Structures are given as structure tokens and as C-alpha cells.
């Protein structure tokens, strides 16, 4: 068992609300910290490590216990083993998420083989750290990576990082997610599709309408369809909002 301890925000059970795994039940292991500062981030304050991590004792019941950070792998694994024994088969996989979990590549290299003995591993990532992804490929089952558009995210252009990341991620089951809003420009979508197509046009693309803090959607239905129409070079393009938001799920 790894002696490395992780700066965690929370560990809980819920349904996946985004991407191609939407609706499936997962264990969410959320790491603190991020290398980006997206304007639409739904987990603000991720740059700092909280003093305490929230661990859900009963899956899906929100009976959280506060534990001091950092947290040991043994504590997390023991919790998930107890869930597997008492509620066998309810979870599809473990979502390794953040923030940006690849900031902790060396730790994940030790943790993931142990966690993968319990459930398949799904990595949620902003797709900008290919050098951290490479050693972890053998420990992953699926990857959901973002392409951060400058218009919607407020981030600088990250095309080279995204392309290098996608080439590695394509070694596993992978899909690409792009948050879009009314400011999204057509050239951004075309460039994203060209990048994905150059790696593999069969990689699914998810256009995710931006959800504002008040729960409203930041793009009209017509504009979302117009953006989808730009993606005909790819084999599978879906428009999927953050379903967990309007269901009241974590």
C-alpha cells in the first residue's frame, strides 16, 4: 500500500453528470489544485488545499466525515472496500477528478494500481499535462479530456498541449468535452474537430452548454445546434448539458 498521501477535497458516490458516461454511478475522488483558472469553473478555490477532506460514509447519502489532509490510500481503499461489500455492483468506476488530478502524477502512479483492483479507473482531466499522463496510461480504463476554448474558458490558447495529450489518451477509451457558450467562435470548433480528426475521427466529442452559477444555460438551443453542425468531420458529436446540476446531484 502506497505511503504517499493525497490532498483531497472529497470522496463521494453519485451519478456521472457529464460526457459519454452520463447517468452511470461512480465513486468520485476529487483532488485539490489546478493548473488553470477557467472562468466557468464549477469548483472554485481549487488552487488551495483544504485543511480537511470530506469522506462520504454511506454511498450517496451525504453523511460526510471530515478528515485532515492529506489522506492516505489505505483510508480511501478501506472505505471503498466497505462500499463494495455492502453495496456490490452499484458503481461503474472510480472517477479521478479535480481540479486537475494529473498535478499528482507520481502519487497516482502508486495509487491507481491499488484502486483499480476495486473498480475501473476513469480520469477526468483538462487535457494539458501530457507528460504526466504518459506513465499512467497502463493504469487507466477510460479518459474524459477537455479542450479549453479561449472564448468560453478565458484561458490562453492550449492547442499544442491538447493535441499532444489526445495522442496519448487515444491509447485508451477516450472522449473529448468542450464547454461552449454564446461567445464560442466557429473557428474554435473547427480547429477542435480538425485536431480530434487528425488523431481519430471516431473519438466522441461532447459539446457541453455552459451552466451559469444561477443554473441557467449560457447558450441558446439554436446556437448549440449550429455549433454541432460544424462537426460533421467527426463520427459522433453529442450535445449534453451538466445533468447532475438540474438533478440536484453532487
Instruction: Give the span between the Cα atoms of 141 and 70, in whole angstroms.
Output: 26
pLDDT value of residue 42: 65
Instruction: Give the span between the Cα atoms of 2 and 16, in whole angstroms.
Output: 27
Describe the crossing of helices 159-169 and 186-199 by its angle, rounded to 10 degrees: 30
Model confidence, pTM = 0.95
pLDDT value of residue 44: 54
pLDDT value of residue 249: 79
| CATH number, domain with residue 94 | 3.20.20.70
pLDDT value of residue 156: 87
- Can you say which residues are annotated as belonging to the binding site for S-adenosyl-L-methionine? 40-42, 99
Domain residue limits at 183 = 5-247
Instruction: Give the span between the Cα atoms of 81 and 167, in whole angstroms.
Output: 34
- Can you say which residues are annotated as belonging to the binding site for Mg(2+)? 43
Grid cell 477516450 is found at: 174
pLDDT value of residue 139: 98
- Can you say which residues are annotated as belonging to the binding site for substrate? 15-17, 30, 97
For the chain, the domain total comes to: 1
* Residue ranges in the chain modelled with pLDDT below 50: none
- Can you say which residues are annotated as belonging to the binding site for [4Fe-4S] cluster? 34, 38, 41
pLDDT value of residue 209: 96
- Can you say which residues are annotated as belonging to the binding site? 15-17, 30, 34, 38, 40-43, 97, 99
Amino acid at each position: 500500500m502506497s505511503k504517499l498521501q493525497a490532498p483531497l477535497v472529497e470522496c463521494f458516490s453519485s451519478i456521472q453528470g457529464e460526457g459519454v458516461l452520463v447517468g452511470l454511478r461512480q465513486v468520485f475522488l476529487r483532488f485539490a489544485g489546478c493548473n488553470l483558472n477557467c472562468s466557468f469553473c464549477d469548483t472554485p478555490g481549487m488552487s488551495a488545499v483544504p485543511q480537511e477532506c470530506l469522506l462520504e460514509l454511506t454511498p450517496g447519502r451525504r453523511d460526510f466525515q471530515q478528515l485532515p489532509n492529506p489522506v492516505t490510500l489505505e483510508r480511501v481503499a478501506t472505505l471503498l472496500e466497505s462500499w463494495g461489500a455492502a453495496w456490490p455492483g452499484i458503481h461503474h468506476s472510480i472517477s479521478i477528478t479535480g481540479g486537475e488530478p494529473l498535478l499528482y502524477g507520481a502519487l497516482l502512479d502508486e495509487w491507481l494500481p491499488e484502486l483499480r483492483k476495486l473498480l475501473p479507473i476513469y480520469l477526468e482531466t483538462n487535457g494539458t499535462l501530457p507528460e504526466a499522463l504518459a506513465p499512467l496510461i497502463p493504469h487507466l480504463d477510460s479518459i474524459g479530456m477537455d479542450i479549453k476554448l479561449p472564448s468560453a474558458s478565458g484561458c490562453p490558447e492550449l492547442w499544442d498541449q491538447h493535441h499532444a495529450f489526445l495522442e496519448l489518451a487515444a491509447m485508451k477509451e477516450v472522449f473529448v468535452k468542450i464547454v461552449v457558450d454564446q461567445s464560442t467562435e466557429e473557428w474554435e470548433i473547427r480547429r477542435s474537430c480538425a485536431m480530434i480528426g487528425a488523431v481519430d475521427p471516431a473519438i466522441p466529442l461532447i459539446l457541453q452548454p455552459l451552466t451559469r452559477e444561477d443554473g441557467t444555460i449560457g447558450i441558446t438551443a439554436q446556437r448549440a445546434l449550429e455549433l454541432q453542425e460544424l462537426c460533421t468531420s467527426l463520427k459522433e458529436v453529442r450535445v449534453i448539458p451538466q445533468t447532475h446540476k438540474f438533478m440536484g446531484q453532487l
